[in-house]
Amino acid sequence: MTVFKLKRIFQALLCLVLISSVVGCGGGGGGGGSPIIPPAEGTYVEAPNTVGTLATTQQVYSYSNTAANVSMKLPVQSGTTVNYLLTVTNRGTTAQSVQLVQETSLSGSARPEEGLRASLLTAEDAELLQMAAVKGRLEEKLRQDTINALRQSGGNLRASMRASNHANENEGDIVKMSVVADGMGMSYTTRNCKLARKTAHCKIFVDQDSFEGLSAVTGDYAVTSANLDHFVKEFETYIYPLLSGYYGPSSAVSPVYDIDKDGRLSILISPVYAKIGFAGLFNSIDMTPGATTNSNQRDLIGVWSPSSTKWSGAYWLAATRETIAHEMQHATNYSAKVYPNGVARTGISNYDSLLEEMWLDESLSVGVEARYRAIRGAAGKTTYYNSQTILDAAANDARFSYWTQTPQSVKVDSFSYSSNAFEHYGQKGLFNFYLFEQYGADKIRSLVQTTSTGVTNFSNVFGAGSFATIVKNWQYAVINEGLRSAPGVNFASIDQKYRYKTTMNIIAHKAVQFDAAYPQAFTSVQPGATAFYAVRQPSTISVSEYKFRIQSTEGQSIEINMMRLP
């Protein structure tokens, strides 16, 4: 077994969930309290005023401390099952090992864990993770190439600067395009690309040249006429209306700048992308004014051609149409930042801050995929997901459930391909879809269309200082999503800001119960990231108060947020 596999198995085991109450296991029970277990060695504090605050449903208790151990007292309501939400955020600068430890011992406490909820990495997941890592290294290089080109153009940018006019291209034309040819962005290849479909809002090109033995026009993995018709229908029916109506400056204006005056987004299907190892790419250098090296000077996104038995047919169609929506958001976002109101932006002093920060840009792109799937599902469209054909839905994204295996691994306002990009995609996409549900489409459009970036952009749209509060509310929604049908939870009575409206089919929390053994493994919480817990008091408990400890051996700052559910 490889070190990589062992690492993933260990990470999965950190996500073991105690589900005795959920699956209705017998045994246990309450009873009187036993002597308090002494706190672990090291600094020890007791969080103040917990009992009074947490006696009221949906009253948020917040507390921060740098102690290695924080003790929490909870009120006990005998005869009623009570559920709490608990988040522990690492406010330190390095990873912290966090564990919950019982301090009030109850009869039945020695009962072992009775069930596990852990997903080990599948071969398919491993392939997708590798694809994400390759694309990540490439995107970081292409992003820097674009910034350098913009910096070099500097004050020479003009409002009238555009590329050659591509308005007269017709179906059947062969157009030469420059395509990045390696995962590091160091080489390009010139391709002969046939304009296979031209519609009101897009052009679809098919690469006519083979690449490393793979062809998009001949053999088992050729792009068919039916494939092209499918993409045309999806683009004109769902993708373009979504991006133009809710991400662009207005529904009457193309969401993408139109650098080449043809009024359409160019979409290239090429085996190069498949062989490099990713599903799609927006290379912003193609839309950078004045760029000459390797730039096609057209509004262009690229997607992969079929490449294997698995990545063909219905599976490939589903992944590719969602990728088109994903990459089109990147092109729309770039247009808004570099060409606000359709005019090339000039007078920039810091080109490194010109483009949207990656965490927010990717959040918007994964979020648009979810909205696209929801629209398709509402129209009765099916998709191929989890090896079966089902009704399409916002929740049909493997990255969402992948992040929930180790949710404490990444923080919201960061994005790194050096770690696990799949976790970032899943977290950011879930966060963005929550924003859409809670605050509406206009707020999402504003995030795209403003020229500010990152948390500053977020604060300008949602209000000064709003980011931290909204993230905390979303974190409660993440835990609650796994408690939709849990015993003792009145899900419909939970404040809407603390839950998803759409069923997202995720379980991100560790579940602990007063009278059962707590998970023994520590959870490694990365800086700025959060560990999620659902804490349950069974109805059989008879003590007046219950005490447990949040323990960390590193002694850095942690932030605790807790809520009692209705």
Lowest-confidence pick of 31-40, 431-440, 532-541, 547-556: 31-40
Percent of the chain at pLDDT above 70? Answer: 85
Classify strands 69-75 and 44-46 as parallel, antiparallel or unpaired: parallel
Query: To which H or E segment does residue 130 belong?
Result: helix 123-153
More confident residue, 60 or 131: 60
Which two structure tokens, joined as six digits, stand for 253? 């204006």
Report, as an integer, the average pLDDT of 219-234: 98
Mean pLDDT for the chain overall: 86
More confident residue, 370 or 518: 370
Give 62-92 pLDDT, tens digit per residue: 999 988 789 999 999 989 999 999 999 999 9
Q: Where residue 328 falls among pLDDT bands split at 50, 70, 90?
A: very high
Q: Which residues contact 138 (CB under 8 A, 6 or more apart)?
A: 180, 183, 184, 185, 276, 278, 281
What is the C-alpha to C-alpha distance for residues 185 and 129, in angstroms, rounded to an integer?
19
**Does the pLDDT value for residue 14 go beyond 80?**
no
- pLDDT recorded at residue 128: 60
Report, as an integer, the average pLDDT of 196-212: 98
Give 472-500 pLDDT, tens digit per residue: 999 999 999 999 988 889 999 999 999 99
* Residue given tokens 């707590």 in the structure block: 518
* Domains in the chain: boundaries: 3-117+507-564, 164-350, 356-471
Lowest-confidence pick of 113-127, 210-224, 314-328, 548-562: 113-127
Give 172-184 pLDDT, tens digit per residue: 999 999 999 998 8
- pLDDT recorded at residue 159: 42
Q: Where residue 208 falls among pLDDT bands split at 50, 70, 90?
A: very high
Q: Where residue 416 falls among pLDDT bands split at 50, 70, 90?
A: confident
Report, as an integer, the average pLDDT of 376-391: 95
- pLDDT recorded at residue 163: 62
Most confident of 311-325, 336-350, 533-547: 311-325
What is the C-alpha to C-alpha distance for residues 66 and 75, in angstroms, rounded to an integer?
25
- pLDDT recorded at residue 20: 29
Q: Where residue 108 falls among pLDDT bands split at 50, 70, 90?
A: low
**Does the pLDDT value for residue 138 go beyond 50?**
yes
More confident residue, 513 or 110: 513
Which residue blocks in 379-531 are alpha helix, DSSP H? Answer: 398-405, 421-439, 441-449, 454-462, 466-481
- pLDDT recorded at residue 552: 86
Q: Where residue 150 falls among pLDDT bands split at 50, 70, 90?
A: confident
- Cα–Cα distances in Å, from 134 out to 28, 139, 320, 363, 421? 49, 9, 17, 19, 10
Report, as an integer, the average pLDDT of 128-152: 76
- pLDDT recorded at residue 139: 80
Contact 400, 385 (CB under 8 A): no
Lowest-confidence pick of 87-101, 232-246, 412-426: 412-426
- pLDDT recorded at residue 278: 87
What is the C-alpha to C-alpha distance for residues 70 and 52, in angstroms, rounded to an integer?
17
Contact 222, 216 (CB under 8 A): yes
> Which one, of 456, 404, 441, 448, lies nearest residue 426 by Cα?
404
Percent of the chain at pLDDT above 90? Answer: 67
> Which one, of 33, 62, 65, lies nearest residue 49 by Cα?
62
Q: Is 280 in a helix, a strand, or coil?
A: strand
Q: Which residues contact 246 (CB under 8 A, 6 or more apart)?
A: 371, 441, 444, 445
> How many CB atoms lie under 10 A from the CB of residue 269?
26
Which two structure tokens, joined as six digits, stand for 52? 């009074």
Report, as an integer, the average pLDDT of 355-371: 97
Report, as an integer, the average pLDDT of 298-313: 95
- pLDDT recorded at residue 18: 30
Contact 68, 551 (CB under 8 A): yes
- pLDDT recorded at residue 4: 32
Give 441-462 pLDDT, tens digit per residue: 999 999 999 999 999 999 999 9
